[in-house]
């Protein structure tokens, strides 16, 4: 991982710095949205957020991704320090086109886990080595992770990141994502 660019990022959630990071092994670009001084800090509030083009950009109601991202930015924007690591891992790691294919299967009655598996992917294909490398690059020693996903906590611990605590992000379901959120809870072990 290499830092390639950095700039001020004033936003509706607070004043941040945006850092462009290049994964030299995978050829992918990620960003870190950072508030305050995190270098050498412990118990830093951090959200590891996987890209969701349909939710984050287009405002899809099929998921809670944009709501989680905005809740994390709002939370960190009210603190002295923190970071959102925005990873290019669309569709829990299966990619945008395959995520759209999974949507088609969900429209036919499959849940999100079944749809991924029918396409030949695991329910969860994200990896956390890249996120841990970014946290290390930023000098963050330990993380208070904003997540509902115990697998994310375990994945980061497995690659050497110290997680001090979990900060829940509670998003109210809507008529379009209620089944998806229930599936994440019952089939993937997410907490709320």
| Catalytic residue annotation | 126
User: Under DSSP, is residue 68 helix (H, G, I), strand (E, B) or coil?
Assistant: helix
Establish whether 35 is an annotated binding residue. no
Establish whether 91 is an annotated binding residue. yes
Establish whether 183 is an annotated binding residue. no
Establish whether 26 is an annotated binding residue. no
Establish whether 66 is an annotated binding residue. no
Using CA atoms, how far apart are residues 8 and 106, in angstroms rounded to an integer?
A: 40
Please count the other Cβ atoms lying within 10 Å of the Cβ belonging to residue 186. Answer: 11
Count how many residues are written for the chain.
192
Contact 110, 119 (CB under 8 A): no
Going by C-alpha positions, the residue among 139, 137, 136 that lies closest to residue 40 is 139
Helices (H), 78-176: 90-93, 96-107, 112-118, 129-138, 150-158
Establish whether 50 is an annotated binding residue. yes
Establish whether 65 is an annotated binding residue. yes
Distances (CA, A) of 55 to 34, 50, 52, 109, 111: 22, 11, 5, 20, 18
Establish whether 27 is an annotated binding residue. no
Establish whether 6 is an annotated binding residue. no
Tokens 């890249």 belong to residue: 130
Establish whether 49 is an annotated binding residue. yes
Distances (CA, A) of 62 to 10, 102, 176: 29, 12, 5
Tokens of 141: 């020693």
Establish whether 142 is an annotated binding residue. no
Residues annotated within a binding site for Zn(2+): 52, 63, 65
Which residues belong to the annotated binding site? 47-52, 63, 65, 68, 90-92, 112, 147, 152
Point out the annotated binding site for GTP. 47-51, 68, 90-92, 112, 147, 152
């Amino acid at each position: 991982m290499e830092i390639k660019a950095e700039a001020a990022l004033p936003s509706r959630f607070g004043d941040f710095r945006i850092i462009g990071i290049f994964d030299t092994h995978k050829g992918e670009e990620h960003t870190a949205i950072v508030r305050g001084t995190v270098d050498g800090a412990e118990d830093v509030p951090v959200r590891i957020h996987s890209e969701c083009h349909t939710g984050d950009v287009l405002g899809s109601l099929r998921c809670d991704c944009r709501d989680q991202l905005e809740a994390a930015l709002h939370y960190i924007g009210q603190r002295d320090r923190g970071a959102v690591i925005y990873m290019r891992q669309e569709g829990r790691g299966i990619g945008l086109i395959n995520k759209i294919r999974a949507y088609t299967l969900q429209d036919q009655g499959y849940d999100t886990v079944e749809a991924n598996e029918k396409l030949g992917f695991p329910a969860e294909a994200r990896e956390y080595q890249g996120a841990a490398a970014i946290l290390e690059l930023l000098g963050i020693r330990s993380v208070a992770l904003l997540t509902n996903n115990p697998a994310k906590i375990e994945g980061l611990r497995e690659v050497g990141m110290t997680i001090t605590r979990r900060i829940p992000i509670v998003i109210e379901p809507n008529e379009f994502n209620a089944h998806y959120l229930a599936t994440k809870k019952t089939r993937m072990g997410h907490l709320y």
